[in-house]
Amino acid sequence: MSEKVMQKRKWQMTIALIIIIAITYLSAAITKFNFIDGLVAFPEAIGWMFSNLLITQESLEKLPTILDKLVETIFMSIAATTTAAVVSIFLGIMGSKTTSINGFLSTFARFIASVSRNIPVVAWALILLLSFGQNSLTGYLALFVGTVGFLTRAFIESIDEASHSAVEALTATGATYFHIVNKAVIPQSLPQMISWILFMIETNIRSATLVGILTGTGIGYTFDMYYKSMNYNVVALVTFSIVIAVIIIELMSNYIRKVIM
């Protein structure tokens, strides 16, 4: 009996593997991507990187302006995330089955979450560019909208998971809706929510660079500018400082997570 199951599993695995290989081959054929050419180009590309993307003495002079822009970008990401978090808490409470007030609001919240989440941040930036033009507001809004979608979804799950039973108990004591949200739902799901917010700050700092290239603001703009003027040494420095910043933020949020959990 169990041997038969094992046999079946093996077959399923083999078939799955064949399908994956087939798909890979097919997509390579369709896009005319040649594995061999790709591999051959590799050493050359790496060689180019090492010879051009060097941080030189000269490029270090640009460091203060770069850091300036970097800090601006980080703060914009944090601002976009925290403001989005406030909106998402409301949408999350409305959208969660445990705490929803009525079906319409619940569907509405889930709809907003779904729309803003399923359109990539870059697409939002491009859409918003049309109406708001190239400025930092556009970048902020693009991050904000994407974050609302993601966080609302995450908060709905945190609330549902964390507090269903306590909500039942408090309802049975005769507590009001706001009592229940305040005394049971928020205390129980807050650490999880903060964890998601930290995750979104990290994500948004990365996306902000990309969005900045499009909207001509922040560190993304700096990157784009030096990239287009082929000053690759500075490009390397910009990239390096972004990487360092992201790592620092990640370490910090990991620490915060440990403390609050």
Partner 1 sequence: MALLQIARLSKSYDNETKVLKDISFSVKAGEFVSIIGPSGAGKSTLLRCVNQMVPISSGEVIFDNAPVTQLKKRALRQLRTNIGMVFQHYNLVPRLTVIENVLHGRLGYKTTLQGIMSRFTEKEKEQAFYLLRKLGIEEHAYKRCDQLSGGQQQRVGIARALIQGPKLVLCDEPIASLDPNSSKIIMDHLKSITSELGITCLVNLHQVEVAQQYSDRIIGLNQGEVVFDGTNYQLTEEKTNRIYGTEMRELITV
How far apart, in whole angstroms, are the C-alpha atoms of residue 53 and residue 38? 21
103 makes contact with partner 1 (CB under 8 A): no
Place of tokens 């300036």: 68
Region for residue 33 given its phi and psi (left: phi exceeds 0; alpha: psi -120 to 50; beta: otherwise): beta
Q: Which two tokens stand for residue 249?
A: 């933020």
**149-168 residues near partner 1, rule: CB under 8 A:** 163, 165-166, 168
Number of residues that bind partner 1 (CB under 8 A): 20
Beta carbon nearer to partner 1, 83 or 171? 171
Beta carbon nearer to partner 1, 99 or 204? 99
Place of tokens 């999350």: 92
182 makes contact with partner 1 (CB under 8 A): yes
Q: List the one residue from 128, 156, 170, 193 that touches partner 1 (CB under 8 A).
A: 170
In 3D, which of 154, 139, 184 has the Cα closest to residue 166?
A: 184
173 makes contact with partner 1 (CB under 8 A): yes
CB 135 within 8 Å of CB 217: yes
Output the CA torsion 123→126→127→129 (10° steps): 150
Least Å distance between CB 176 and partner 1?
A: 5
Beta carbon nearer to partner 1, 8 or 183? 183
CB 215 within 8 Å of CB 34: no
DSSP one-letter code for 55 = -
> What x-and-dash track marks residues 7-46 binding partner 1 by CB under 8 A?
----------------------------------------
Residues of this chain that bind partner 1 (CB under 8 A): 163, 165-166, 168-176, 178-179, 182-184, 187-188, 191
